[in-house]
Structure 1
Amino acid sequence: MSAEDQDDNPPEGFTLSTSRGPYTTHNGPFYHRVTEDGFRHGVRVKSRHCNSRGITHGGMLMAFADGLLGTAVFRETKTIALTIRMNSDFLSSARPGEWLEGTARVTRATRSVAFCEAELFVGERPVLKATGVFKLMGRHKVPDGEPSAS
């Protein structure tokens, strides 16, 4: 059975993410889990996520990390934000069938920008580290009482 045909089989506690935009939905399916100390997103790597060498494409890893960074910013600031800059360090690879997950956190936020960092891993193996700067779109702040994105 190919990695494309396998059940995603997410780890316990992960739920299918259903509120993603069209680009992210097309590249998933992605899963999420909220914990006491933050959140995690995950995806079962499929061959469609890979380059010609059979490892996860760098663009896929960066898009996944960008989503993590954006989620962290929204959860912290309750404001929709746009990526200004993102830097990525590729540390290892992920292969079809492996569970890739990640988390992110805001390190500093002002009224107009947020600084954050993310890490992706397979098990204990680090795959990518990223940092980002996001422009906070103040007119898109979520009113108090509405739930945060996971």
Structure 2
Amino acid sequence: MSDISPVEGFEAYPTRPGFIRHNGGFFLHCERPVIGARITEEHLNPLRIAHGGFLATLADTSFGAVLRRQYDLPVAPVTVNLNIDYLGAVREGDWVEVYVTVHKFGRTVINASCELKVGDRLALRAHGNFMVWTGEIPAVK
């Protein structure tokens, strides 16, 4: 695997076994509602730019991580819908940051948006709705 070193102020995002552990390499900012990732060869499509599915995973994970931390939830909320606009290519070696904004934390639904940037350049914009998980939390295997 390529170097995935974060920039200063970020720490490895802790993951449970499953999809994100195998498809991640994400870093949570120590104080701000931001997730970062270093784009490596494993994240690229045949055009040698970041795969849209990886960027969608990064956006979705960013929502969950930030909402969980910001509202002290036992697990990340469940995604109800996610809308994504891909606005520019992301390349190998780029450090990307996803900035999450919560618009409304309602009784049952959370509405939020995010921007994925490479430096000052906007590469993706997403918004979605999420539900706080109220069911039983399965044990980790």
TM range, smaller chain: 0.7 to 0.9
Structure 2: which 5+ runs fail to align? none
Match for residue 123 of structure 1?
Answer: 119
Alignment of 1:1-150 (within 5 A): 4-5=1-2, 7-35=3-31, 38-79=32-73, 80=75, 81-139=77-135
- For each residue in 1:70-120, what CA deviation from the matched residue of structure 2 results, as whole angstroms up to 9, or x when unmatched? 223323433342111000111111111111111212100111110001111
Q: Is the 8 A contact 2:4 2:40 kept in 1?
A: no
Q: How far off is 1:17 after superposition? A: 1.9
Alignment identity in percent? 32
**C-alpha separation between the residues in 2 aligned to 1:138 and 1:27?**
26
Q: Is the 8 A contact 2:13 2:28 kept in 1?
A: yes
Structure (1/2) with the larger strand percentage: 1
What is the DSSP-based 3-state SS (H/G/I as helix, E as strand, rest coil) of the residue aligned with 1:9?
coil
Structure 1: which 5+ runs fail to align? 142-150
Aligned length in residues: 135
- Structure 1 length as normaliser, TM-score? 0.80
What is the DSSP-based 3-state SS (H/G/I as helix, E as strand, rest coil) of the residue aligned with 2:67?
helix
Cα-Cα RMSD: 1.9
